[in-house]
Chains A and B, each alone.
Chain A
């Protein structure tokens, strides 16, 4: 590492006039070449704003930016680019109809003669780049077919192709599975070794402690401190990130105070203050309630595909008051399973039953009519409409309730929205377009909509994604609360630890088959991991050899 920092931000202050939020207060950041630097903090700590300022996308009210010894003009993204700042945003945007190659070279197209695009040379350069960095990607494919991980790689390659010396990644692993994340970290390590500076903005402490060489912590818009990796452990880090809220109190002037979350903020949902019809009953959350009615039943459901993963002979029963966690590898069936649950894919064989009644036409409509909540993995793409207002995003599932003779009275919808927001402690104007909200706030809106009313069944995929520490805590408390009220909760998750700690029963999806474990307590994380990869174990495999439908409450049986 060099002696002088390659990047030095000082005294950065920024207040957003639109919503009065003081995003940065006298914040600072130092980045050295050849290091992996973690910029950590809770949602709303000001990390995103700081790096947007560094990238020239936002103009700070005060402060300086020095890159490689020269002072950089503020709010000039081209100059930041020329100085070698490459930003990989949280939501990667690509031109869907273009191939990876075409997206990559956009803006730095190699030309031969006037305007003739030299694709071959571009492809060669990119291939060389990929070899050099160890990043593998099919750049001939159209990006409309890219997964989240591939889009991430594309964005990194684009930044490198444009000549970045400082690679800034905003929550790079937010939407990736464990295995994918690990792959990325080895790429970052490699890049740092070639002399690049890699800055990772994240709130995932566990993940970042190993790889990072230095850590900058932000809280409430300030830089709390800069620490070498060895100096902190997970809990120390966490407390620095979170601490100070109860002590400092509500000092921020903003009306929306949802970013500094405490235990009190989770109160509303946790205490079961739902709108809508009163809950049916208080379940005990006990595992042995076989008498409870079956809410969702899959019998021998199969989805055959020409290419890609398929699902074979899936069977399970989910009862009231149960939390069933299903895990697996996203690309190898978990995504397909989610689409199947959501009603987007119809099974080739087998039956699905809601409340014991066979579902004739499985579609999102039937799902919603049955009062089922669905929080999708693709929170932004499927879970909200970015250009619509917060209110419009909230009322989607309650149209029947809110409309009178086909008309949606403004007063009613407004009131509904405000109350729903209160439940997740968002005190913000429901009429504003939802894209003004921060990522964490958007998550809450989704939860408010899906979970704000009584639901028989909640299907939630990757519950941790997009949430910070406090948000995650709130999420699990909510799910457990729902369970204790009698709601059946179906969790899809590629994150093993998450699933293990909360579920009543676990299902492992591998090679198209679902293996159900009614007593997951005994399973360790690594055991689950190897199960996902195919090692067999005792459990109920609903494969081609079984004749009966397993009930997740039955005893374990041995099978070959």
Chain B
């Protein structure tokens, strides 16, 4: 089995981000409109509470998916099924909400969130288990499972669960009692960011200060070494994948209960892939995931602002993300003079 060592250069991350900004500025500059557009790009996200809060909300969700990816990476496994895990998690959360009486309130919301995490966990854990038991490449199996889950959820949303009163492809709203509190009206910001920060802190502590964290890291750094040292490497294949899936699913649940309140077809698309970008920017270090998510969310919010207010095409967001993805995995060589 090939060993995959994720790149962890801080310098590399900064270069990729700087390049993304430069690309954005280039595009904005070329299509005319000059400095006004640039300022819309940079300041747009901060210009009103709505944009600002939405940016933070997005950052919170990205923190969760980024965290899920980082943990898996650290143990030497690669979770490529984030998209499906988020989507399926949201579905699981939604189902709990419609099954519970609306009086269940915040307890019900908690249950729904847990179920959402469980939805994602199931998908990812299976990949981890397959890797442990049969040596199946978890990168491929997680991706395939996710690719199968997405149409399934789509089918349910466009079919049996569809809200017949709406022109949008969406389910009905969940009961208001399950809505998560809004922290910064009129934006969507809810509990995503606080939860993301909490979990990132917990993950950092776990990874670097505890025995299971150590064993997880060593398994990722050199699986053979860990094995011959008596570490239960099989366990540390399944558990990080499962945890990653849980985080992804929970992100789906938070997006559902915090922002949209209904399952709109495709609402979560991008959270999985961008989670990978965030994890890479953060160098797969859980303590850096939240800052990385904030920067990435800022990039997205900036391009949204430009698209909405500065007459820039719809593709700007995608191009910027592409620039980040493209450059983030380049490893920058150390300076001369070092041999090891």
Query: Chain A residues in contact with chain B, CB under 8 A?
Result: 16-18, 48-49, 52, 57-59, 75, 96-97, 342, 344, 364-365, 367-369, 374, 376, 378, 381-388, 392, 395-397, 399, 403, 406-410, 435-436
Contacts and interface: CB of A to CB of B under 8 A. Distances in A.
Contacts of A368: 229-230
A505 B214 CA distance: 40
Contacts of A97: 2
B339 A57 contact: yes
18 contacts: A58-B336, A59-B336, A59-B337, A97-B2, A344-B227, A344-B228, A368-B229, A381-B224, A382-B228, A385-B218, A386-B222, A387-B221, A388-B217, A392-B218, A403-B210, A407-B209, A408-B209, A410-B209
A382 B227 CA distance: 9
Interface string B67-107: 00000000000000000000000000000000000000000
Given A386-B221, A388-B222, 8 more contacts: A48-B339, A381-B224, A385-B226, A387-B5, A397-B230, A399-B211, A407-B210, A408-B214
Given A57-B339, A97-B2, A397 B229 contact: yes
Interface in B312-340: 336-340
Nearest to A409: B209
Contacts of B209: 407-410
B26 interface: no
Given A364-B227, A376-B228, A408-B211, A385 B221 contact: yes
Nearest to B5: A387
Interface string B217-244: 1100110111111111000000000000
B230 A369 contact: yes
A46 to B, nearest CB: 12
Contacts of B218: 385, 388, 392, 396
Given A17-B337, A383-B225, A386-B222, A407 B211 contact: yes
Contacts of B214: 392, 395, 399, 408
B212 interface: yes
B192 interface: no
A364 B211 contact: no
A222 B225 CA distance: 37
B215 interface: yes
A435 B217 CA distance: 17
B228 A364 contact: yes
Which interface residue of A374, A399, A435 has the most chain B CB atoms within 10 A?
A: A399
Contacts of A365: 230, 232
A52 B339 contact: yes
A395 B228 CA distance: 13
A59 B215 CA distance: 38
A18 B338 contact: yes
Contacts of A374: 228
A-B pairs, 10 with minimum CB distance = A368-B230, A385-B222, A396-B229, A403-B211, A385-B221, A385-B225, A365-B230, A364-B228, A58-B339, A382-B228
Contact of A382 (B224, B231, B339): B224
A408 B228 contact: no
Nearest to A18: B338
B225 to A, nearest CB: 5
B4 to A, nearest CB: 12
Contacts of A410: 209
A96 B222 contact: no
A295 to B, nearest CB: 18
Given A97-B2, A392-B218, A406-B210, A435 B340 contact: yes
Contacts of B5: 387
Contacts of A75: 336-337
A387 B225 CA distance: 12
A302 B224 CA distance: 24
B20 to A, nearest CB: 28
A382 B225 contact: yes
Contact of A364 (B221, B229, B337, B340): B229
Contacts of B231: 396
A399 B217 CA distance: 14
A436 B338 CA distance: 10
Contacts of B340: 435-436
A388 B231 CA distance: 15
Contacts of A49: 339
A377 to B, nearest CB: 12
B8 to A, nearest CB: 9
- Residue of A48, A383, A385 with highest tally of chain B CB at under 10 A: A385
B211 A406 contact: yes
Contacts of B232: 365
A16 B335 CA distance: 13
Contacts of A392: 214, 217-218
Nearest to A49: B339
Contacts of A397: 229-230
A431 B33 CA distance: 53
A186 B339 CA distance: 30
Nearest to B222: A385
Contacts of A344: 227-228
A429 to B, nearest CB: 15
Given A58-B337, A369-B230, A392-B218, A408 B225 contact: no
A58 B335 CA distance: 10
Nearest to A14: B337
Nearest to B211: A403
Contacts of A57: 339
A408 B5 CA distance: 25
A399 B215 contact: yes
Interface string B100-125: 00000000000000000000000000
A266 to B, nearest CB: 26
A342 B226 CA distance: 13
Nearest to A372: B230
Given A385-B218, A388-B221, A96 B2 contact: yes
A344 to B, nearest CB: 8
Contacts of B212: 406
Question: Which interface residue of B210, B214, B231 has the most chain A CB atoms within 10 A?
Answer: B214
A384 B225 contact: yes
B287 to A, nearest CB: 15
Q: Which of B2, B5, B211, B230 has the most CB of A within 10 A?
A: B230
B253 to A, nearest CB: 28
Report which residue of B2, B209, B225 has the largest number of chain A beta carbons within 10 angstroms of its beta carbon. Answer: B225
Contacts of A387: 5, 221-222
Contacts of B222: 381, 384-388
A18 B226 CA distance: 29
Interface in B30-67: none
A342 B228 contact: yes
